[in-house]
Structure 1
Amino acid sequence: MYANFIKVILDFCTALVILILLSPVFIFVFLALTIANNGQPFFYQIRPGKNEKLFKIVKFRTMNNKRDDNGTLLPDAKRLTFIGKLVRKTSLDELPQLFNILKFEMSLVGPRPLLPEYLPLYTLEQKKRHLVKPGITGLAQVRGRNQMLFSERLKNDIFYVENQSFILDLKIIFETIYTVFFKSKNVVLGQTVDEVDDLGLSRNLDSNHFKTKK
């Protein structure tokens, strides 16, 4: 009842209210990133949603496309713009995903959507994270944000799926607000996937891609 009906209504109404209340902030960030990123303030990427259905997630673009002399993209830490760092630390880069909620593709709270290429690499237990809509924030994000190892992220995602409730969602939302306002200084930006991927998902992905190309 809660997950399939009440939560959907609450998500839609809350996302609409937040967009209206934060519209001045949205417009300011939009204009600042438009200038910083040569007219490209948004970043789009295909991600798996509920029941592994693919959708296009939207975020504010916080990195430029600078490359080295060989044409290879520079590391994330070197491509973060000044305004991009501020936007990321305050999690404002996720703000456009409110439109994903209005399109019923995402929820306020749920497992963060990862790459679709990871889907065949998950165990049956790990695939449970796709039994619910992905969220703008989630249990893993308030417990460790971008510094949590993949194995712990997936455990937290599965715990959320198996214990989803209004009280748990409310707790995660309040913890998210607290984290954004009082812990943003502790956020580490520019980490590589390898630093937190203790499951080797990215390495297996690269290996499978190489075999396919070969």
Structure 2
Amino acid sequence: MSGGDAKKLVRSPSGLRMVPEHRAARSPFGLDEPPWVPDKECPRCMQCDTKFDFITRKHHCRRCGKCFCDKCCSKKVPLPRMCFVDPVRQCAECALVSQKETEFYDKQLKVLMNGATFFVTLGTSDKSELMVCRLSNNQRYLILDGDSHYEIEIIQISTVQILTEGFTPGGGNTRAIGMILQYKVPGSEEVTQMKFTAGEDFSSNKKLSAAWLAAMHKATKLLYESRDQ
């Protein structure tokens, strides 16, 4: 892994942000601040259509950049994906999304960093290796340690397929038992595939692996959203 993970405090129109000194060191799950809709282009609230005047002030949602009245944009919610130091003003729709993401940053991110054990199969090989898989502290690498060692850049991951068991046509509980990961090696267009399979030895290990896979599933969704921004 490369160094250069130092951060700096910057002030934007939306608030204080603690960001990496170099853009290349940013989290792959992060989002850029949106451009604000210019004041002259929003004479009315973009939610309830209330007209702005000296009494009814306009506010910009820090997540979507749209213009709202105080009633429609009153919630201040943490927004770690944009590196804000304090909770920031968001419209009701964006606040709901940000609140749901809080679970990932408060709980699931720690699960990914703590790691879990899987049998890992590379490509079309018929041999697997027992490895501890974890997310790096800077969130930029998936680290695999066993007899071999791999560091996969999160931004190079192209697809993640979570493997489950227990599904029936009529519905029912499912359990994550592994995943298939495809990624590109930097400097190459070749796609490499890895298969992760949870062990069947101890129930505690299976629960830990299932929790790690669930967290990875959520992380993948955030990764795709960041790319599509």
Relative to the length of structure 1, the TM-score reads: 0.23
Report which of the two structures shows the higher radius of gyration computed on alpha carbons: 2
**More strand per residue:** 2
Q: TM-score, normalised by structure 2?
A: 0.22
Query: Larger helix proportion, structure 1 or 2?
Result: 1
